[in-house]
Amino acid sequence: MDSERLTHADEAGEARMVDVGGKAVTARRALAQARVRMAPATFVLVRDGRTAKGDALAVARLAGIQGAKRTADLIPLCHPLGLDHVDVRCELEAPDAVRIIAETRVTARTGVEMEALTAAAVAALTLYDMVKGVDRTASIEGLHLLEKDGGKSGSWRRPGVGESAS
């Protein structure tokens, strides 16, 4: 662990928003992923843009971007950030999965890990919503941070991830 104490709890263990006023403004970046697994026949519908609700991948990408922008509205102790960049990509993994990769960037006093994770999660939830009518076995798995850069703690890469997953 990076610290012996959780940053969002005070000495009495009560939840608190971290004071970032004294931190340096630096360029920060985060990359997160999630995977949506589905039946091979559903994968073909998604790949070919033929779901009943339309182009599932396009809708998922837009939802992920919107999710990143609304992170502070969803996660109570997150600082609202004016994001510089959000990118959500959907990689087809035949025969039965879509890997969602979300990248967020900001120049600020606090990191953008939660925004990247929220983007990946919301995109995955949206893709699930797009296919649930034809595939009740669809599932979301593997939501996690892949890497982060910037701030006092510098760079971090998930073990087993290459030099850059972007």
Positions annotated as catalytic residues are 129
Residue bearing tokens 């502070």: 72
Is residue 156 within 8 Å of 163, Cβ to Cβ? no
93 forms bridges with which residues in the sheet? 97
Instruction: Give dist(CA 159, CA 166) in Å, integer.
Output: 15
Stated as kind and residue range, the H or E segment containing 116 is: helix 113-131
In the block, which residue shows the tokens 């034809």?
Answer: 134
Strand partners, 148: 30, 156
127 CB contacts (<8 Å, ≥6 apart)?
Answer: 36, 46, 56, 57, 59, 60, 90, 98, 100
Give residue 143's identity as a one-letter amino acid code: L
Q: Identify the CA nearest to 127 among candidates 98, 93, 101.
A: 98
